[in-house]
A and B are shown apart, each in its own frame.
Chain A
Amino acid sequence: MTDPVLQLVGIRKCYGCGETESEILHGIDLHLARGEFAALIGPSGSGKSTLLNLIGLLDRPTGGQLFIDGQETGQLDDTGLTRLRGQRIGFVFQHHNLIPAFTALENVAMPLLVARGRPDAAMFSIAGDLLDQVGLAERKQYLANRLSGGQQQRVAIARALAMSPSLVLADEPTGNLDTHSADDVFALMREVNVRLRTTFLIVTHDPRLAQRCDRIIELIDGEIVSDQPHAVG
């Protein structure tokens, strides 16, 4: 496959040490190309969240290699990982997605602010455009906790796109929403994927949501048991 965004080679993750050591992930191999829209499914305790933390560079694997945009991450120190994470990866979580002390516009501009150190007009212009694109032009100055769940997830998607990342990791992005809002949020992610060719990896329990993705990766007991392209009907 060409133009890989994410590549995992024999990724292992253990917790504890000595006799209490337990291996959560047993040599995961995974490859995501630019523009893919994949779902990661599996029962609770299968290692989905652990894998997502490793891919998001929030944790380090015990063994194996992890490449983001072709860059091997094993040799990077904490600052290097943080910088790479900030520039190449966007996150959408299920809960606690936004910082309540800031407005919707400020939340979207936050990754740019973290990277640049000081606020400037350009970053708010980018954030404003992104909010327009997710249909929240009227809610820019609302504090995060004054928005509905669906609106908060839209803001989170806008924020995940602020740094124009190659990869967006979404952990149960619709898990907390009603059906209508969930459909809206999914449609938005899909639109971004098609328009910007941003790669999405969506962790979900919802089979209905997984069925709407291009590829379904199933993880059971720390191993990928199936990885199939899925034709969206």
Chain B
Amino acid sequence: MKPWMPFEWIAAIRFLREGRMQSLLIIVGVGVGVAVIVFMSALLAGLQSNLIKRTLSSQAHITLLPPEEVARPQVALDHTALRLQKQAQRLRSIDQWQQVRDRLQKWPEIAAVSPLASGPAFAVRGDANKSVTLVGIEPERYNQVISLAERITRGELRVGAGETVIGIELAKDLGADVGDKLRIATAAGASETLTITGLFDLGNKGVNARNVYVGLRTAQTLLNLVGGVSSIDLALHDLNLAEALAQRIAGETGLTADSWIKTNAQFVTALTSQTVSSNVIRFFIGLSVAFGIASVLVVSVIQRSKEIGILRAMGATQVQMRRIFLLQGGIVGFFGSIRMARRCS
């Protein structure tokens, strides 16, 4: 007997040691329950993180866009009602985007800020032409938001003057490869012939067939956005804060801020449902383990009725007796959990 150990602990440990086989069975039972919980949690966490990672491989956590242009309502002189047609949105630059970029960069929640000039264009090679999204980037900044450099399958990420990086699908459609020339033309009539320096695979067929990366200045010239950017992409330290932060940024800058949570609402709902159903399963596994321990403890109390009688006759209170059996449950629960959790990890 250890002198520091209270009577209840001494009795609980001795009873467990005496009924070794029974204690071992409960520990294994608890362990299996915990193993299932750990396995399910790991599976789900891994699956969700993988899904989110894949979904966000070609997408920023928050995208800032210029505020929508709204037609100014005119009041008719005779006070008759007017139908206000929604104005078509032209490609515009974000006002004072440098200030917005520098300001957001100082926010502790934001990991990276990348301004983009993007708009519709045609990629022409020989007789083939494809409608594409021209994306003008600053590669160092853009890589911190979307790891494009890691996704280059051929060539390298180099978008200097007269250079472009295209997706593997577009390359296949146009029969182009690294080193080939590609003409990019916009609807406004501007065009430039670029050399393909790299091919990327962002894991999304649509993006691989659509995105054409060029330097920011090249895109600004082609899209007639000289000195301007059409959007700012943000990467966050914590993905889950995206929606709250987007609202805060929209409030502070007056820009339209779309978070990945908002743009992938159905996906996020699916993830949430999956988490809820997993929690329900885990709850019931935990409950069944608890019932298992409780039933074994009830049997143990019945088996120990003579010891309970002796200890009560010697002056042990009901509280002390209850504590002995609760401690037994706590000890087997603790060791069962630790044992299996360690084995699983």
A residues with a Cβ closer than 8 A to B are: 56, 58, 78-79, 82-83, 85-87, 91, 93, 95-102, 106, 110-111, 113-121, 159, 163
Contacts and interface: CB of A to CB of B under 8 A. Distances in A.
Given A78-B318, A106-B1, A118 B312 contact: no
Given A85-B315, A119-B2, 4 more contacts: A58-B312, A85-B313, A86-B315, A101-B17
Nearest to B16: A101
A119 B3 contact: yes
A119 B310 contact: no
B6 A118 contact: yes
Contacts of B314: 86, 91, 110-111, 114, 159
A96 B307 CA distance: 8
B307 to A, nearest CB: 5
Nearest to A96: B306
Contacts of A117: 6-7
Contacts of B2: 119
B13 to A, nearest CB: 9
B3 A102 contact: no
Contacts of B315: 82-83, 85-87, 111, 114-115, 163
A82 B4 contact: no
B313 A118 contact: no
B316 interface: yes
A78 B317 contact: yes
B43 interface: no
Contact of A110 (B3, B5, B311, B317): B311
Contacts of B6: 117-118
B14 interface: yes
A114 B311 contact: yes
14 contacts: A58-B313, A78-B317, A82-B315, A83-B315, A86-B314, A86-B316, A93-B310, A96-B306, A98-B310, A101-B14, A113-B10, A117-B6, A117-B7, A118-B4
Contacts of B10: 113, 119
Q: Which of B1, B306, B310, B315 has the most CB of A within 10 A?
A: B315
A32 B147 CA distance: 93
A63 B307 CA distance: 30
Contact of A114 (B7, B18, B307, B309): B7
Contact of B310 (A56, A79, A99, A121): A99
B15 interface: yes
B279 interface: no
A22 B1 CA distance: 47
Interface in B294-336: 306-307, 309-318, 320
Contacts of A58: 312-313
A98 B18 CA distance: 14
Contacts of A85: 313, 315
Given A99-B307, A114-B320, A91 B313 contact: yes
